[in-house]
Structure 1
Amino acid sequence: MYTRFIPYILLALLTNLALPVFADDELTGVWQGTLGKSNIRVCFNEYGTGSYYYQRYLTPIRLEQVDNHWQEDKQTGFWQFDSINEQQLVGLWSNQEWSKTEPSKDNGTSPKGQQGKSLAIILERQISPDSINDCSSDAYNLPLETAPKLKRGKWQPFDNADSQQANSNKANANPISYRQLSYGTELGLELKGKQTGIPAINQWLKQKLTSEQLLAETFETRRDMLARVGHAIADETGAEIDFINQHWLSVRFYRWAAGYGAGGISRTYTSFNLSDGKPFNPWQWFRDDVALDEMQHQLPDALREKLFADMQVYEDCDNSDGSGYFYLTLTPKGIELWETPNGRGCENEFTLSPTDAMPFATEFGKSQLKLME
């Protein structure tokens, strides 16, 4: 894990302070033309970043302004423009870095060394239909925004030795296998087993993974990051089995929002009944006002008083009275209540056996907790 956006912020600040910036009508915007014999589309942001893609590949490559030239991400190519006006850019691409000290015959600069490969760049300005003049524009992004293909990984058994299944002979008699699904930058799961609810669970998981809303959000994130730093960055995602017994299965979904540090990390959990495949939220065993997608709640008053009756109060912690918001997840020992780690050491965590949790559950919750005993 790493703080994903901070390096780009620093890069942008350094770019703004140290590099010359072309006027909007000279360079900023979307361009289309050729690099050698290949058709490309290019965008430039206002402050020294950009992106381009080959129209037959549609994979954006970041551009960064460095001194008197532009260089591609990982320095796979170097660009320099000899002629710039409002409607046309003419220049040269090289696979070697441009030197300031080797003047060329056309009053430009030449690549270092004598063995480099060079290709002509000829670009014409494109007007975006949404009137946006940077790398987030329709003119640059619409060709990229096609529905991805659903890809499936290899089947693999869920490791009973490290799982909750190891505690139940009944669960071991009906093992579950899984494989990873990918849909563009989103990751999901598909399950295989004899449990009657598996087909319905798979349908739910697939609909979540391939939803139109989620795809639209992915495209919007990519546009935002292209405009900020020139990178086609998307959220980092994941999905994995978190809990299994003979009755239920829980899946943990992970997301690290592009452009944010640790504050952009989120986790959600969805549990399923293995008999009918219907999703549920274990918080519903203790509260009547809980929606399926509401992951964190305050503790019921009676449970909070029980858990925090003898809790030591620390001056530096503002949640020593149990008034914070807790996740509730299923474990082999019962239920776990925990707060999101914040690095201060103030977060609380409790594990309750089904018997210990029973007095605080609703009538429906008590019927479910009995199944865990």
Structure 2
Amino acid sequence: MNKATILMSLHLLLLSGAASAADPSWRGVWSGTIGKQQVMVCLDHDDSSSYYYRRHSYDISLEASDKKGPRWAEMTKGKRTGEWKFESITRDRLTGNWFASKGKRSTPIVLERVSAPANEGQLCDDEAYNGPRIDAVKINAGSPENFEGKRFRTLSAGVDTTISTVELLESGPGVAGVNQALRAELRERIGNYYECLGSDNTRAEEVAEYSVTESPVFWSSRWLALAVVADDYCGGLRINHHYWYSTWDLSSGKNVDLWTWFEGMKYEASAALNKIIVAHAKFDEECAEMLTENVTYSLHPSREGMVFSPQLYVGCQDDIVVPYDKLLPFLSPVGKREVKALMSPRR
């Protein structure tokens, strides 16, 4: 073995030792049981840990009572509901007991490592922790529906709220890609739902809420536009309401950012374009005044023109349709090509 190889080996050993010293052996994602109940556990630094029972999948917070890891306080809405005490801690196995917050009742804990921490990110956001409960959710397919002669059905997550998307039942080169992407979005939103419900930011008398729905608003041989409506309350002062559009290219199966069709704009209209948009709005005086100060819109194509949805409060979110020919001076070369195709009678 030459000198360079020896030095490299020593360097790797030092790095490994430093990582081991920095990362306690209990940090990671674990699977196992509390008594006879199956659980998934995420043990991270300080108070960013949690676990869930596989039978109901809702997060329960864990806070470190001991920096070395043997003791953890189980917390629900700021109140201690139990305590964990580990008797044996190794890199791949944790054993100990769960104790009720009051009384002497205890239950054995046995955990096996699922995933070691790969970085300093939040472990409780990791796929290894969240994947089992997301994959356990049944996806229910609705009956076929019709939108302007084209068939689709609604896919709904089997949870205690409304989280849904659509599945296209037509043929085409990009349809499979669109359906795959929409299912991936649905899966991600199920994860967001559990994260919201597991939040400890809500007060004792409050219940977290989360819902997302999608439905078609425009469907041509080339393009599909979906309206997305989302509501969530994960703690804080108010319920959040979001409304936007997503546009899909049915030839490629890809999601398309329509702002890339506009020259030099990204998510916001230029002053000149905004003047054109405002001129086509049919709002009352209060909303019209707010609209002149707004430059952020969600877009989707339609048969009459480009639809601009202002990102204002709910009462002023009416769509604004601008004829395609009015937009031509603001478009990039790609945008002009695509918009002229939309203006064609054969679109």
Classify the TM-score, shorter chain. 0.5 to 0.7
State which structure, 1 or 2, has the greater radius of gyration over its C-alpha atoms. 1
> Residue 361 of structure 1 corresponds to which residue in structure 2?
331
Give structure 2 stretches of 5+ with no counterpart: 1-33, 40-52, 59-99, 112-123
User: Could you tell me which amino acid in structure 1 is paired with residue 335 of structure 2?
Assistant: G
User: Could you tell me which amino acid in structure 1 is paired with residue 272 of structure 2?
Assistant: A
Pairing of 1:269-348 with structure 2 (within 5 A): 269-288=245-264, 290=266, 297-307=267-277, 319=290, 321-342=292-313
1:183-226 deviation digits (Å, cap 9, x = unpaired) = 64532222111122110001111112223xx5553333112269
Q: In the alignment, is the contact (CA less than 8 A) between 2:291 and 2:310 conserved in 1?
A: no
> Residue 244 of structure 2 corresponds to which residue in structure 1?
268
Q: In the alignment, is the contact (CA less than 8 A) between 2:230 and 2:241 conserved in 1?
A: yes
The alignment's TM-score, normalised by the length of structure 1, stands at 0.51
Q: Secondary structure at the match of 2:243?
A: strand
Query: Percent of counterpart pairs with the same letter?
Result: 15
- Give the superposition deviation at 1:271: 0.9
> Residue 211 of structure 2 corresponds to which residue in structure 1?
236
Whether 2:226 is the aligned partner of 1:251: answer yes
> Residue 158 of structure 1 corresponds to which residue in structure 2?
146
- Give the superposition deviation at 1:238: 1.1
Distance change (3 Å), C-alpha of 1:217 and 1:230: farther
Distance change (3 Å), C-alpha of 1:219 and 1:338: closer
Whether 2:177 is the aligned partner of 1:200: answer yes
Whether 2:133 is the aligned partner of 1:146: answer yes
Q: In the alignment, is the contact (CA less than 8 A) between 2:298 and 2:310 conserved in 1?
A: yes
Distance change (3 Å), C-alpha of 1:336 and 1:228: same
> Residue 103 of structure 1 corresponds to which residue in structure 2?
none
Once residues 246 and 131 of structure 2 are traced to their aligned partners in structure 1, the CA distance between those partners, rounded to angstroms, is: 32
Aligned residue pair count: 238
Once residues 270 and 328 of structure 2 are traced to their aligned partners in structure 1, the CA distance between those partners, rounded to angstroms, is: 13
Once residues 326 and 56 of structure 1 are traced to their aligned partners in structure 2, the CA distance between those partners, rounded to angstroms, is: 41
- Higher relative contact order, chain-length normalized (CA < 8 Å, sep 6+): 1
Once residues 204 and 307 of structure 2 are traced to their aligned partners in structure 1, the CA distance between those partners, rounded to angstroms, is: 41
User: Could you tell me which amino acid in structure 2 is paired with residue 159 of structure 1?
Assistant: F
> Residue 65 of structure 1 corresponds to which residue in structure 2?
none
Structure 1 residue ranges (4+ consecutive) displaced by more than 6 angstroms after TM superposition: 142-145, 309-317
Once residues 207 and 176 of structure 1 are traced to their aligned partners in structure 2, the CA distance between those partners, rounded to angstroms, is: 21
Q: In the alignment, is the contact (CA less than 8 A) between 2:277 and 2:322 conserved in 1?
A: no
Pairing of 1:9-48 with structure 2 (within 5 A): none
User: Could you tell me which amino acid in structure 2 is paired with residue 146 of structure 1?
Assistant: R
Once residues 145 and 264 of structure 1 are traced to their aligned partners in structure 2, the CA distance between those partners, rounded to angstroms, is: 28
User: Could you tell me which amino acid in structure 2 is paired with residue 353 of structure 1?
Assistant: P
1:250-300 deviation digits (Å, cap 9, x = unpaired) = 12222111247875011232211111212102222114553xxxxxx3322
User: Could you tell me which amino acid in structure 2 is paired with residue 351 of structure 1?
Assistant: V
Give structure 1 stretches of 5+ with no counterpart: 1-31, 42-54, 61-84, 90-122, 130-137, 161-171, 291-296
User: Could you tell me which amino acid in structure 1 is paired with residue 306 of structure 2?
Assistant: I
Once residues 155 and 228 of structure 2 are traced to their aligned partners in structure 1, the CA distance between those partners, rounded to angstroms, is: 13
Q: In the alignment, is the contact (CA less than 8 A) between 1:153 and 1:180 conserved in 2?
A: yes
